[in-house]
Amino acid sequence: MFIKQLYTGCLSESAYYIESEGIAAVIDPLRDIDEYLQLATERNATIKFIFETHFHADFISGHLDLAQATGATIVYGPDTVTKFPVHVAKDGEIFSIGKLTVEVMHTPGHTLESSCFLLKDEAGKDHAVFTGDTLFVGDVGRPDLSQKGAELTMEDLAGMLYDSLQTKIMPLADDVILYPAHGAGSSCGKNLGPETFSTIGAQKHSNYALQQQTKADFITAVTTGLSAPPQYFPINAKINKEGYDSLQSILDKGLQPLSVAAFKEKAAQDDTIIVDTRKATVFTEGFVPNSIFIGLEGRFAEWAGSILPFDKNILLVTETGKEKETIVRLTRVGFEHFVGYLQGGFEAWKNANEKIDLIIDIEADELAMDIPFDDQLLVIDVRKENEYADGHLAQAMNIPLTNLTDPGSMADLDDSHNMYVHCAGGYRSVIAASLIKRQGLHNVRNVLGGWGAIKELKDKFTIEKSVEVES
Question: Which tens digit of pLDDT belongs to each residue from 224-274?
Answer: 988 888 999 999 999 999 999 999 999 999 999 999 999 999 999 999 999
In this prediction, what percent of the chain has a pLDDT beyond 90?
89
Torsion from C-alpha of 203, 209, 211, 214, nearest 10 degrees: -160
**240 lies in some domain:** no
Residues 158 and 68 in one domain: yes
Task: Judge if 221 and 250 occupy the same domain.
Answer: no
Q: Which of 289, 324, 351 is a domain's end point?
A: 351
The C-alpha atoms of residue 15 and residue 26 are separated, in whole angstroms, by 7
Nearest-angstrom CA–CA distance, 197 and 179: 5
Q: Look at residue 112 and tell me if it is in a domain.
A: yes
Based on the domain organization, do 63 and 178 belong to the same domain?
Answer: yes
Q: What is the pLDDT of residue 470?
A: 45
Q: Specify the pTM.
A: 0.92
Same domain, 285 and 199: no
Same domain, yes or no: 226 and 250: no
Q: Is residue 469 part of a domain?
A: no
The residues with which 342 forms a beta bridge, in sequence order, are: 258
**Residue 18 belongs to a domain with what CATH number?**
3.60.15.10
Q: What tens digit of pLDDT does each residue of 17-49 get?
A: 999 999 999 999 999 999 999 999 999 999 999
Shared domain for 365 and 412, answered yes or no, is yes
CATH code of residue 290: 3.40.250.10
The answer to whether residue 345 is domain-embedded is yes
- 196 and 256 in a single domain? The answer is no
In a domain, 197, yes or no: yes
Which phi and psi angles does 312 have, rounded to 5°? -110, 150
Helix boundaries (H) for 2-48: 34-42
pLDDT at 469: 44
Burial zone of 171 (CB within 10 Å; 0-12 exposed, 13-18 middle, 19+ buried): exposed
Same domain, yes or no: 149 and 27? yes
141 and 11 in one domain?
A: yes
Instruction: Examine the fold and report which residue of 232, 256, 287 is the final residue of a domain before the chain moves on.
Output: 232
pLDDT at 151: 77
274 and 305 inside one domain: yes
Within 10 angstroms of residue 426's Cβ, the number of other Cβ atoms is 22
With both helix axes pointing from N to C terminus, report the angle between 63-70 and 34-42 in degrees, rounded to the nearest 10. Answer: 40
Task: Kindly give the residue spans of alpha helices, DSSP state H, lying in 147-246.
Answer: 154-164, 200-206, 215-223, 233-242
User: Residue 118 and residue 113: Cα distance in Å, rounded?
Assistant: 16
Residues 345 and 368 in one domain: no
Query: Is 333 found in the same domain as 184?
Result: no
Tell me how many domains the chain contains.
3
CA distance linking residue 118 with residue 135, whole number of Å: 13
- Is 238 part of any domain? no
Residue 259 lies in domain: 245-351
pLDDT value for 471: 41
Residue 323 has pLDDT above 80, yes or no: yes
